[in-house]
Chain A
C-alpha cells in the first residue's frame, strides 16, 4: 500500500517519485504519518492558497509547528489582521526599497569567496551560503555583531524535525526557545533605541491605533530571522546544487550573466527548498471524492505542484529557457513569501560573484546528507571545488 511520510529520510532525499504517485493516483491523500491530508496537484494547491477562509493558516503553517507560534506571526494569521501586519513590513522589503543592500551584498559575497580560495574543496553551505546570508540579514536587521554564528546554528536547528518521533526533538525546541529569547532581547533594545532598520519599524507600528502584541512582535521577529537566514541559505544551496549538477546551465550563465534571474526562477520551480506548508480546514470541503472536515490539517506540497505535468511541460527537466510563471517556489496567495525581493537579489548577487571568480566551479564525489525537515529540503553540506 502506498504511504507518504514527510518525516522520512527517503522523502528528505528525494520526494519526487512519491509526489508523482500522489498526483496521479491519490490527489487528495490522507497521510497517517503526518496526520493530515496531502494536496499535490498544482491547481488544487493554488485553489487552497487562494481560499484562506476554507484553508486557514491560523493553526500554524509549518508541517511541524513550534509551540505558541500559531496565530502570532504573519505566516500563521489570516486576513484581515494578516494583511495589516504584512503592510507594516512590506514597504521595507520591496524591490525598490532594496537598492541599499546591493553593494553590501556584493562586498559580503566577495569577502566570503576570497576566504575559500585556499580551502578546496569547500562546503558551499557552511563556508559560503550560511555566512553570506548571516552577513546580509545582520545588515538588514542591524543585528548585534556578537554571537551571529550561534544565531545561524539555532536557525538551522529550529526548522528541523525528528524522523523517528515525527515531532521536534528537545534540541530543536531548545533552538526555537533560544531564538525566541534572542528576538525578545532584540525587541527590548529596539524599543529603547529605535533605529531605521526593518525591525524597529515593525516594533513601533500600530494597527488600527493599537500597538502589536509583544508575542506577535517576538514571534514574527523570530520567524523573520529564521527565514532570512535559514530559508535563504537553504534555497541558495539548492540553486548552487543545480548549477553544479547541470554544468551546461552554469556555462550558459558564465557566458551571459543576464540569464541568472532565469536560473533562479527555474530553481524555485524545479526543487525549491520550501517543499511543504500546512493549512487547517475551516469549512467542510470535498476534493477528489474525499471529504475534508473542519479541524483537519492539509499539507500543500509546493514541490509537487511545481513538478505537475498538468501545469508544466517536461516538469522533471531543468530548463533554463523555461522562465516559469506562477510557480510555487515562494508559495502563493496572501501568504506568499515576504522576502521574495530580498531572496532574488541575494541569490543574483551571489551567483554573479561566484561565477565571476570561479567560472568552472563544480561538485565533487559525495553523498548528500539532507536536512531532516518535514517542511524544507536542502543539503546539510555541498562540497564544491572552484
Chain B
C-alpha cells in the first residue's frame, strides 16, 4: 500500500499507509493523527486539513479548484506556495512516499 509521511509542527515524522483513492486527510484522521482536523469531512468547505506539500510532489497533484483556492486564503496558519487542503489530494501510486508538513494550527 502506498505511504504518506506526515511531519508534524514539532518535526516528528509519521509514516502511514493510505490506500489508493483515500484522501490524505482521511489517512490522517482515520489513523488518529493529530494536526489534521477535517471538520467538514472532505467537502472542501472548511480548511482545517491544511498542509504544506513537499515541493517534489507538488506537480503531481490535481489542479486546485477555485473553491480550495478561496478556502486556503482563510487558513489558521499562514498560506505558503506549497499549501494545499489534504482532503483534495487522493492517494495514487505516483504519490507513494509523499511528504506533507502539518501547520501549527488548523
Which of A's residues lie within 8 Å of B, judged by CB? 50, 79, 82-84, 86-87, 90-91, 94-96, 323, 325-326, 332-336, 340-341
Residue in A closest to B66 when the chains form the complex, CB atoms: A208
Q: How far is the CB of B54 from chain A (nearest CB, A)?
A: 25
Give chain B residues whose Cβ lies under 8 Å from the Cβ of A332.
Answer: 41
Give chain A residues whose Cβ lies under 8 Å from the Cβ of B31.
Answer: 325-326
Give chain B residues whose Cβ lies under 8 Å from the Cβ of A333.
Answer: 41-42
What are 20 inter-chain pairs, A to B, with CB distance below 8 A?
A50-B26, A79-B43, A82-B43, A83-B43, A83-B67, A86-B43, A86-B45, A87-B40, A87-B45, A90-B45, A94-B39, A94-B46, A323-B32, A325-B30, A325-B32, A326-B29, A332-B41, A334-B41, A334-B42, A335-B41
Give chain A residues whose Cβ lies under 8 Å from the Cβ of B39.
Answer: 90, 94-95, 340-341
In the complex the two chains form, what is the Cα distance from A340 to B67 in whole Å? 22
Q: How far is the CB of B63 from chain A (nearest CB, A)?
A: 15
Give chain B residues whose Cβ lies under 8 Å from the Cβ of A334.
Answer: 41-43
A83 near B44 (CB under 8 angstroms)? Answer: yes
A336 near B41 (CB under 8 angstroms)? Answer: yes
Q: How far is the CB of B43 from chain A (nearest CB, A)?
A: 4
B interface: dominant SS:
loop
Q: How far is the CB of A335 from chain B (nearest CB, A)?
A: 7
Q: Which of B33-90 contact A (CB under 8 A)?
A: 37, 39-46, 48, 67, 71, 76
Give chain A residues whose Cβ lies under 8 Å from the Cβ of B11.
Answer: none
Given contacts A84-B67, A323-B32, A336-B41, contact A50 B21 (CB under 8 A): yes
Q: How far is the CB of A203 from chain B (nearest CB, A)?
A: 18
Q: Which of A87, A96, A336, A341 contacts B44 (CB 8 A)?
A: A87
B43 near A90 (CB under 8 angstroms)? Answer: yes
Q: How far is the CB of B37 from chain A (nearest CB, A)?
A: 8
Q: How far is the CB of B3 from chain A (nearest CB, A)?
A: 18
In the complex the two chains form, what is the Cα distance from A341 to B42 in whole Å? 15
Give chain B residues whose Cβ lies under 8 Å from the Cβ of A94.
Answer: 39, 46, 48
Give chain A residues whose Cβ lies under 8 Å from the Cβ of B32.
Answer: 323, 325-326
Q: How far is the CB of B103 from chain A (nearest CB, A)?
A: 14
Tell yes or no: B22 within 8 A of A by CB. yes
A interface: dominant SS:
helix
B44 near A325 (CB under 8 angstroms)? Answer: no
In the complex the two chains form, what is the Cα distance from A84 to B45 in whole Å? 7
Give chain A residues whose Cβ lies under 8 Å from the Cβ of B76.
Answer: 96
In the complex the two chains form, what is the Cα distance from A174 to B14 in whole Å? 53
In the complex the two chains form, what is the Cα distance from A335 to B45 in whole Å? 12
Q: 5 smallest A-B Cβ distances: which pairs?
A: A336-B41, A325-B32, A326-B30, A87-B45, A90-B45
Give chain B residues whose Cβ lies under 8 Å from the Cβ of A95.
Answer: 37, 39
Give chain B residues whose Cβ lies under 8 Å from the Cβ of A79.
Answer: 43
Give chain B residues whose Cβ lies under 8 Å from the Cβ of A83.
Answer: 43-45, 67
B67 near A86 (CB under 8 angstroms)? Answer: no
In the complex the two chains form, what is the Cα distance from A94 to B49 in whole Å? 13
Given contact pairs A326-B31, A334-B42, A335-B41, a sample of 20 additional A-B residue pairs in the complex whose CB atoms are under 8 Å apart: A82-B43, A83-B43, A83-B44, A83-B67, A86-B40, A86-B43, A87-B40, A87-B43, A87-B71, A90-B40, A94-B39, A94-B48, A95-B39, A96-B76, A325-B30, A325-B32, A326-B29, A326-B32, A332-B41, A333-B42
Q: How far is the CB of A270 from chain B (nearest CB, A)?
A: 17
Interface centre among B21, B39, B43, B48 (most CB of A within 10 A): B43
Residue in A closest to B65 when the chains form the complex, CB atoms: A80
In the complex the two chains form, what is the Cα distance from A191 to B85 in whole Å? 34
Q: How far is the CB of B59 from chain A (nearest CB, A)?
A: 24
Give chain B residues whose Cβ lies under 8 Å from the Cβ of A90.
Answer: 39-40, 43, 45-46
Residue in A closest to B21 when the chains form the complex, CB atoms: A50
Residue in A closest to B37 when the chains form the complex, CB atoms: A95
In the complex the two chains form, what is the Cα distance from A287 to B27 in whole Å? 24
Give chain B residues whose Cβ lies under 8 Å from the Cβ of A335.
Answer: 41
Residue in B closest to A330 when the chains form the complex, CB atoms: B41
Give chain A residues whose Cβ lies under 8 Å from the Cβ of B29.
Answer: 325-326
Give chain A residues whose Cβ lies under 8 Å from the Cβ of B42.
Answer: 333-334, 336
